[in-house]
């Protein structure tokens, strides 16, 4: 008997339910298809493509060079491979993006009509979106009851699976990974290695480091961008080099603590984002709350360009955007700050920010990215209200009190004292001169007045309600 395992967002051997099922056959064909035809506007961004390139190389090595890599439409490629290799069964782990769901249903129907046994599995989520609903069978709209009443009451997630024994891995003349053209043409990604090592081995190295640290100070320290308390597991989870079940099992094997609970809650937020995308497939493109359709957004490309390049004149915002550009990653607290600044202080539509993050984050997830941007904009499910506008000065003072993070990414302000670091436009001229800072020359003036732009945002919201 021969089976085909279709790798997607599960680039690993351990705890891979679909691969484990496929391995029951005597011979297995392992396939990855780069599908940019069906993805449309949600094709992988530049940073994700970089990570995928290296992750595929790692997976191919783990399979002794027998990973079949193709580029094109799986609706055409998979039936061809099935016929060429006389495949009896096809297995894959489910994805939850709307375009993938539509495509996968077509593939399953076409292969089944040919007499092929097609099975999909859950290798990406702790709980399936359709299995966590309210008593009336409708989907949750608020995180806390979703997680506490829905997820936790549904029972513990399944235990991770060991890597299966693949008796014979078939080979085929697929594309060379380099031929996919995933790497950027310019050396933009030279600093991405700082985020982590793509591939299953890199994921487990990161997980082992988290386990060794025991999640110490995770609950209290994860809001501080200069602290080494975040896990940086997100790209490994996004590409499936690590399963959420493995992350959950690691945490629950530690002694109970607020840190463990907070880590598991963050995995719960990942589940909630996929829950929202599954039940509301328009989440990436439309306001979840229709009342925001009347919001008078501005269209100011120059403002957005300054934001993208970390040249807003607001130090904590610029630090975050420069970290993103240099590393393909941004600390979660800073993501909220820069998001609030774009949407509320600059009054730019949240879709602009979501598109930039989609292109520049190595952990870009359609579910997480869409839900998070709608959260910060106030237009999403269980969102922060629009009138909650992060003040980037006080955010910097509170969460980067010593300025370590800001000085790292905005070195032209490094000599400013902490008192003036987060609002250099308020510093006396002598203080700026002593620090070698000339506003408008060595560092920009703020592109907006924070107080005035906050008032403009609240006025816009009031007019929308009216």
The mean pLDDT value for 255-259 works out to 96
Tell me the pLDDT band of 173, cut-offs 50, 70 and 90. confident
Helix (H, G, I), strand (E, B) or coil at 347: coil
Partners of 117 in the β-ladder = 89
The mean pLDDT value for 159-183 works out to 93
Annotate 288-307 with DSSP letters as a single string: SSGGGGG---B--HHHHHHH
Whether residue 141 is predicted with pLDDT greater than 80 in this model: the reply is yes
- For residue 354, the model assigns a pLDDT of 98
- For residue 463, the model assigns a pLDDT of 83
State the Cα–Cα distance between residues 32 and 163, nearest whole angstrom.
Answer: 18
pLDDT by residue (tens digit) across 7-19? 999 999 999 999 9
Residue 324 backbone phi and psi in degrees, to 5:
-60, -50
- For residue 185, the model assigns a pLDDT of 87
- For residue 72, the model assigns a pLDDT of 96
pLDDT by residue (tens digit) across 369-396? 999 999 999 999 988 888 889 999 999 9
Mind telling me the catalytic residues? 266, 269, 297, 332, 350, 373
Tell me the pLDDT band of 327, cut-offs 50, 70 and 90. very high
This prediction has a pTM of: 0.96
Helix (H, G, I), strand (E, B) or coil at 121: strand
**Mean pLDDT for the chain overall:** 96
Tell me the pLDDT band of 278, cut-offs 50, 70 and 90. very high
The mean pLDDT value for 84-103 works out to 97
The answer to which of 65-79, 152-166, 192-206, 374-388 has the lowest mean pLDDT is 374-388
- For residue 29, the model assigns a pLDDT of 97
Kind and range of the H or E element at 236? helix 234-238
Whether residue 174 is predicted with pLDDT greater than 90 in this model: the reply is no
State the Cα–Cα distance between residues 137 and 255, nearest whole angstrom.
Answer: 35
Q: Encoding tokens for residue 226? A: 């200069």
- For residue 387, the model assigns a pLDDT of 86
- For residue 187, the model assigns a pLDDT of 83
């Amino acid at each position: 008997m021969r089976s085909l395992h279709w790798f997607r967002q599960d680039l690993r051997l351990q705890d891979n339910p679909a691969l484990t099922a496929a391995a029951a056959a005597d011979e297995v064909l392992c396939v990855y298809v780069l599908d940019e035809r069906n993805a449309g506007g949600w094709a992988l961004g530049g940073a994700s493509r970089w990570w995928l390139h290296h992750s595929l190389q790692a997976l191919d090595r783990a399979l002794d060079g027998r990973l079949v890599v193709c580029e094109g439409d799986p609706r055409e490629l998979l039936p061809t491979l099935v016929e060429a290799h006389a495949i009896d069964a096809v297995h894959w782990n489910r994805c939850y993006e709307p375009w993938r769901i539509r495509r996968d249903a077509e593939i399953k129907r076409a292969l089944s009509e040919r007499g092929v046994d097609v099975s999909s599995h859950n290798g990406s989520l702790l709980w399936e979106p359709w299995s966590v609903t309210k008593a009336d069978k409708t989907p949750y709209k608020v995180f806390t009851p979703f997680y506490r009443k829905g997820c936790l009451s549904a029972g513990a997630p399944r235990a991770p699976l060991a890597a299966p024994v693949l008796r014979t891995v078939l080979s085929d003349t697929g594309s060379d990974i380099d031929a996919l053209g995933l790497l950027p043409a310019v050396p933009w990604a030279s600093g991405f290695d700082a985020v982590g090592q793509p591939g299953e081995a890199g994921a487990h190295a990161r997980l082992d480091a988290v386990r060794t640290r025991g999640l110490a100070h995770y609950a209290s320290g994860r809001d501080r961008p200069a602290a080494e308390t975040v896990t940086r597991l997100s790209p490994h989870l996004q590409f499936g080099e690590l399963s959420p079940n493995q992350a959950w099992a690691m945490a629950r094997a530690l002694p109970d603590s607020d840190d463990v609970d907070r880590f598991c809650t963050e995995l719960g937020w990942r589940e909630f984002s996929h829950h929202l995308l599954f039940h509301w497939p328009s989440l990436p493109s439309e306001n979840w709350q229709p009342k925001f359709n009347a919001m008078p957004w501005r269209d100011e490309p120059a403002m957005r360009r300054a934001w993208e390049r970390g040249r807003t004149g607001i130090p904590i915002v610029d630090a975050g955007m420069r970290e993103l550009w240099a590393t393909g990653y941004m600390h979660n607290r800073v993501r909220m700050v820069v998001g609030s600044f774009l949407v509320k202080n600059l009054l730019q539509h949240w879709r602009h920010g979501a598109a930039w993050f989609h292109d520049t984050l190595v952990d870009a997830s359609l579910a997480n990215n869409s839900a998070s941007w709608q959260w910060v904009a106030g237009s999403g499910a269980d969102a922060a209200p629009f009138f909650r506008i992060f003040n980037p000065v006080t955010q910097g003072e509170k969460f980067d009190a010593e300025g370590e993070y800001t000085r790292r990414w905005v070195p032209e302000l490094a000599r400013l004292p902490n008192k003036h670091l987060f609002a250099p436009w308020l510093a006396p001229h002598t203080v700026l001169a002593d620090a070698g800072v000339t506003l408008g020359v060595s560092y920009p003036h703020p592109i907006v007045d924070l107080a005035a732009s906050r008032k403009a945002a609240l006025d816009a919201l009031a007019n929308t309600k009216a």
